[in-house]
Amino acid sequence: MITKLTLHTLLAALVVAGAAFAWQARGEGPSTTAASLAEVLGHEIDLDDED
């Protein structure tokens, strides 16, 4: 039962995280969404860098 509850929690966390990420990135362009994802993953992308 504890394993089942833990798996349910992790699955729900994935779904909520995906929905939350989509919500945060809503209305923003694909490049900004990619930058947001990179930030969440601990990287930085400078969108103003044209070089």
Partner 1 sequence: MTGNKTTPGVPRRPSRSETGFLLLFHAVLSGSFLVAYLTGDEDTYGMHLFAGYTVLAALGSRLAVALLAPAGSPLALPRPSMSPTFAWLRRLAAGDGQALRARSPLYPWMAVVMLAFAALVAASGWIADRLPSVEELHEAAAELTPAVIIVHISVAAVLHWLRRLATARAAAAAVG
Provide the binding-site residues for partner 1, judged by CB under 8 A. 1-2, 4-5, 8-17, 19-21, 23-25, 36, 39-40
Q: How far is the CB of 49 from partner 1 (least distance, A)?
A: 18
Measured from the CB atom, the residue of 20 and 47 that comes closer to partner 1 is 20
Residues 22/33, Cβ–Cβ less than 8 Å? no
CA end-to-end distance (rounded Å), the chain = 55
Nearer to partner 1, 1 or 49 (CB): 1
Cα-only R_g, the chain: 15
